[in-house]
Structure 1
């Protein structure tokens, strides 16, 4: 997949285009991408997704705090796996937001992307103040000679419902449901940094994960079963997201104890896949009680893995 960091970088090639955030690149999004790819093959064009960063809502709503399912790098990885030819991640700013609907069509779709066909949702709005809709786009298509195909209301509703359910499920710790809508295990990547090493004293050494992107959605506090590929091997672990109340922790941390592994991961970047939620984070009456619960959590993880195909 070719990736471009600006519309201006795109070469002179005919395209079949769709536009959107595609956050999560979930099962609903995959249907749209498949449609783009098949149309591009039929029309001898290149399948192309135009997306924006930062998210337009953050810019238009004065820095609204918005948590996303994917970082830019994750989105690239997921779209590349689908066989897309081109991904354009254009910087969204107030200047771009001021483009009139026709300027957007003429300067962006025609002059830069050489669009042969655009496949877009029936509810898509574009141009300054989001003033134009699918009816306007159909008229522009007739004027400038490109085809417009609407994604059905049913498909768009499915995508919207899936995105909402995925976010809600992650915020509530219902990981299996979120993974079902995504079509893959929810994941995040981060660098392993030194913590206070309390886990080591308890017999449960942990990798303390630091995620660079503050806009990445972190699931609810609690203990999870997770998986990570380390040195080419799948490693199962139990992860805690929270403030470690038993030891008077204050800042939220993400810590993973890998079962039956003793690997030096400091300063390495690893990817964590979430498999299941075990329990809520809780404050124990003593460190010994915490240790006893961790033993139970570890046994729960082992039983889960032994009874499932991960």
Structure 2
């Protein structure tokens, strides 16, 4: 999949099959649209194109509201879309000027003149252009003039999966990572470089890798203990994964190793912690991985964060947490 971070980088196609949206989570509803996009591109001899935006439009239109957290980072979203077989991903910066384009300017300047759109696939409620005034009516009015066709995914087809990005965010904020997975079709994950902590875990027999999430807009699930798997590069490839760059190409093939473990999210109230930590105790693992980017897949919520009377009581509970985690993996041996 080819990735572009500016519309100006994209070379106009002769037969582009296009869909547009933020696609946060790339959940089952989104996947229906994207599957149809790829089917049409293949059957018509065209190339599939997704036009998405970053930052998220709500971050620009309502900058005072810092409450919006996203299910995917832009890199995570790109990896998922590559796995779905998309040919081109355009990540265009969403700016005030961009938001002020009228619906007809949006269609002519971007979809037609820049991308070369011949077919458009949209969800039933897709809106675009200044004040989100554009929709199917405007797309249909311009179709004959600009020689493209439109296919709208019916509301019933989308609602059949009973899923939305809002529902997924709520599930994660409640700690219900299993419910989020049923909506997403994959495990929710967090990625980031391993940073040095205060090494208290080592003193009680539970060393942890502390993960720094660089993207402040990334949604972090509820505080507590989780069963997780951890993916990382082999020992010979300990440098962080290459970030997405302009006009780059993304392959989903890699040689990452996977380990089981239990993760903690919280402020460590037992030791009067002041900051929210994300850390993982990786089972049967003793490598130093400071600086390496690792990926943590959330499988099951085990318990809420609790303040214990001291480290001894905490240690006893951590042994129980590990037993519960191992029991989960025994019941789910495919993970």
TM-score, normalisation: structure 2: 0.90
Conserved in 2, the CA contact under 8 Å of 1:29 and 1:159?
Answer: no
Provide the alpha-carbon RMSD of the alignment.
1.3
Conserved in 1, the CA contact under 8 Å of 2:195 and 2:209?
Answer: yes
* Aligned position for 2:294: 270
Ranges in structure 1 where 5+ consecutive residues have no aligned partner: none
Length, aligned pairs only: 310
* Aligned position for 1:136: 138
Distance 2:74 2:162 in 1: 20
* Aligned position for 2:6: 6
5 Å matches for 1:64-83? Answer: 64-65=65-66, 66-83=68-85
Q: Secondary structure at the match of 1:125?
A: coil
Conserved in 1, the CA contact under 8 Å of 2:28 and 2:163?
Answer: no
* Aligned position for 1:99: 101
* Aligned position for 2:22: 21
Question: Cα offset for 1:226?
Answer: 0.7
Question: Cα offset for 1:20?
Answer: 0.4
Distance 1:185 1:283 in 2: 28
Residue range with higher mean Cα deviation, 129-138 or 112-121: 129-138
Q: Secondary structure at the match of 1:42?
A: helix
Question: Cα offset for 1:274?
Answer: 0.6
Distance 1:63 1:143 in 2: 40
Distance 1:121 1:233 in 2: 37
5 Å matches for 1:49-88? Answer: 49-65=50-66, 66-88=68-90
Distance 2:160 2:72 in 1: 19
Question: Cα offset for 1:53?
Answer: 0.4
1:146 to 107, 123, 148: 148
TM-score, normalisation: structure 1: 0.97
Distance 2:46 2:75 in 1: 25
Conserved in 2, the CA contact under 8 Å of 1:259 and 1:298?
Answer: no
* Aligned position for 1:305: 329
Question: Cα offset for 1:162?
Answer: 3.3
Question: Cα offset for 1:242?
Answer: 0.2
Question: Cα offset for 1:160?
Answer: 7.3
1:184 to 156, 181, 186: 186
